[in-house]
Structure 1
Amino acid sequence: MALALCAAVLAGCSATDDGGHGEARPERTGTTAAGVSPEPAPASASAARTGAATPAPRFRADPARLPTTRAAALDLVRAVAAGPDNYGPGYEKRSPYESDPADRPVLGVDCVWRQAKQPDDILAGLTRYSRLPASGGRGEVRLSATVTVHRTTAQADSEIAETLEEALRCPDQQLRESERISGLNSIGSGYGANGNTSADDSLMEMGSYLAPALGDGPTPYFWNQVRLGPVTLAVAVQGGRGVGQSDLLTTQARAVAEMETAVRTRLGGQG
């Protein structure tokens, strides 16, 4: 699935080809519940946005394995979130390596990202930061992997929908004082669309990342997020100069697929 979506991205990507961003993204919420709800998955956010019919998703979690407490959900995200070993040889931890599980980033009306308290209707969320140091004439590659356990599938679906809308509302976003992304475009793929044959929903954002630490001018930015029931998984990549987009997307797709497999294994999903 992920590799097929990558091909679609390469066909229409507007990022520069010489080298992206990788910070944790906002986790949106709906109504509060006592634990993760195993209710049937809604029509995917991507399908709802395009009006396309969506096949029944293949993933089915075992209700007995779904976390119902923050402690259990935190155990899940720590077991699933990708780290250096998921990306390939030479990757290492960035500092800090993990986000604070008590916080979440929120995109303001001014298109600036800020930290906020993790809401009660998210059981757990965690981001891990990795990098491939610059070498051999190629610039540094940075990646981040984010896993979020929502209390309900509907809330997880809402997160995907809002992420799609954020790229429309804020095609240019300020990450930190000296880091920003611009020219964002997004592609949403419900199950059965654009080669997505594994996740309930999938989306890809692409644009340009600008940070003085990585040199003058923009480098490519890619954000790939998928949903399996009440769990969302994402990997962001900001590419080093001289690193091909196909290499960046392949690394990203591999990590997303490995996290999907880990969720299926731990939650008893079928397919």
Structure 2
Amino acid sequence: MGGLVGQSRGKAGLRAWGCAMAGLFLVAGCADDGTPKGAASSGPPGTSATPSGTPPSAGGSGTGGTGASTPTARPGAATAIPMPPLDESKQPRTAAAARDLLGRIIIAEQDLGPQVLRSTPFESDPGRWPVLDEACVWQTEGLPGDVLATSTRHFHIPAKDGRGRVRISATVTIHHNREESGWETARAMEEVLRCPDQKLREGEQLKSLWGGALYLGEQLNAWTEDAFSESGDYVNAQDGGPYPYTWSQAQFGPVTMAISAKAGQGVTNEDLTVFVAQGTSVMMIQAKQQLGKAAG
């Protein structure tokens, strides 16, 4: 399905998008033509490169040269967790079990860095679900039948030293099975194609969105069953813009994990990539620990 977006922009656009995905999930570099470089390539400021096909190290945080909090690995943290087989006996069967699992996967502010704070409101209504309507405006509705539980947490980095506010959201959704979570990713792709301009709420818009997906084994994706990313511009009536915006989603079995990041003045897309890669990586590792089969 990722080819639908790539074809609309030509082969050069697909190479550039593939490198953007590598930057999000693998913190790899790119050649001038947009193709991913080798494992020795350097990542965004304040990060270290990781082997091809592995996510960035999870956990901890520090301050890098970007001026924003730049995540780094906790001492002794593994740089990657291999893709374990899904243990279907661990899949939740009820909404209550799904909410319990969700709480063990979704990140907190300390997983993103010391400058990241909770926003108000912090957590979404657990009984509501975001829906992009025919006019490309986001609304909320009751949970659909294929969703056992979902939650979004909101964080921010306050404006400081000439840099605008950074808004970060983390979402975890638990479905009944892998097929349902796969359809969620497919719908996300369709939404970008249908609505490259979207209204989040009054005074907030996303513009010029584009994106695509990499299945497990495609290009450098060796850590998630389905990696989806979208990028574009964020416009806020209060803060101005356009500023960089990026969103990524990963899948393991019945679970999808997503991070969105919206920049303010003086904040680059590379700054956002650090937080998106860190948050998605931490949640993926925790999902694999909760639902993967034990080795041996």
TM-score tier (shorter): 0.7 to 0.9
Counterpart in 2 of 1:80?
A: 105
Q: 2:242 aligns with which of 178, 201, 218?
A: 218
Instruction: Choose 105-114 or 72-81, whichever is displaced more.
Output: 72-81
For 2:129, the aligned partner's letter is R
For 1:223, the aligned partner's letter is W
Q: 1:150 aligns with which of 150, 170, 175?
A: 175
Query: Contact 1:5/1:196 (CA < 8 Å) preserved in 2?
Result: no
> What TM-score, normalized by structure 2, do the two folds share?
0.72
Counterpart in 1 of 2:94?
A: 69
Moved segments of 4+, more than 6 Å: none
1:162 aligns with 2:187: yes
Residue 59 of structure 1 and its aligned partner are, at CA, apart by 3.9
| Distance in structure 1 (CA, Å) of the matches to 2:137 and 2:89 | 40
1:196 aligns with 2:221: yes
Query: Which residues in structure 2 correspond to 1:116-135 (within 5 Å)?
Result: 116-135=141-160
Residue 62 of structure 1 and its aligned partner are, at CA, apart by 1.5
Counterpart in 1 of 2:124?
A: 99
Query: Contact 2:111/2:279 (CA < 8 Å) preserved in 1?
Result: yes
> What TM-score, normalized by structure 1, do the two folds share?
0.78
| Distance in structure 1 (CA, Å) of the matches to 2:198 and 2:134 | 10
Query: Contact 2:246/2:269 (CA < 8 Å) preserved in 1?
Result: no
Residue 248 of structure 1 and its aligned partner are, at CA, apart by 1.2
1:186 aligns with 2:211: yes
Query: Contact 1:188/1:204 (CA < 8 Å) preserved in 2?
Result: yes
1:261 aligns with 2:256: no
Residue 3 of structure 1 and its aligned partner are, at CA, apart by 3.3
- Unpaired runs of 5+ residues, structure 2, are 1-21, 35-81
Label 1:118 to 1:170 Cα distance change in 2 as closer, same or farther (>3 A): same
Residue 99 of structure 1 and its aligned partner are, at CA, apart by 0.4
Residue 11 of structure 1 and its aligned partner are, at CA, apart by 7.9
Label 1:219 to 1:111 Cα distance change in 2 as closer, same or farther (>3 A): same
Higher RCO, 1 vs 2 (CA within 8 Å, ≥6 residues apart): 1
Label 1:262 to 1:95 Cα distance change in 2 as closer, same or farther (>3 A): same
Post-superposition Cα deviations, 1:135-154, rounded to whole Å, max 9, x if no partner, equal: 11111111000000111211
Post-superposition Cα deviations, 1:13-55, rounded to whole Å, max 9, x if no partner, equal: xxxxxxxxxxxxxxxxxxxxxxxxxxxxxxxxxxxxxxxxxxx
Counterpart in 2 of 1:3?
A: 25
Q: 1:89 aligns with which of 114, 125, 136?
A: 114
| Distance in structure 2 (CA, Å) of the matches to 1:200 and 1:66 | 16
Residue 58 of structure 1 and its aligned partner are, at CA, apart by 3.4
Post-superposition Cα deviations, 1:40-91, rounded to whole Å, max 9, x if no partner, equal: xxxxxxxxxxxxxxxxx93422222211111110011122112211111111
Query: Contact 1:219/1:238 (CA < 8 Å) preserved in 2?
Result: yes
The secondary structure found in structure 2 opposite 1:217 is strand
Give the aligned CA root-mean-square deviation in angstroms.
2.1
Residue 269 of structure 1 and its aligned partner are, at CA, apart by 4.5
Label 1:90 to 1:140 Cα distance change in 2 as closer, same or farther (>3 A): same
Query: Contact 1:5/1:194 (CA < 8 Å) preserved in 2?
Result: no
The secondary structure found in structure 1 opposite 2:134 is coil
For 1:263, the aligned partner's letter is A
Residue 122 of structure 1 and its aligned partner are, at CA, apart by 0.9
- Unpaired runs of 5+ residues, structure 1, are 13-56
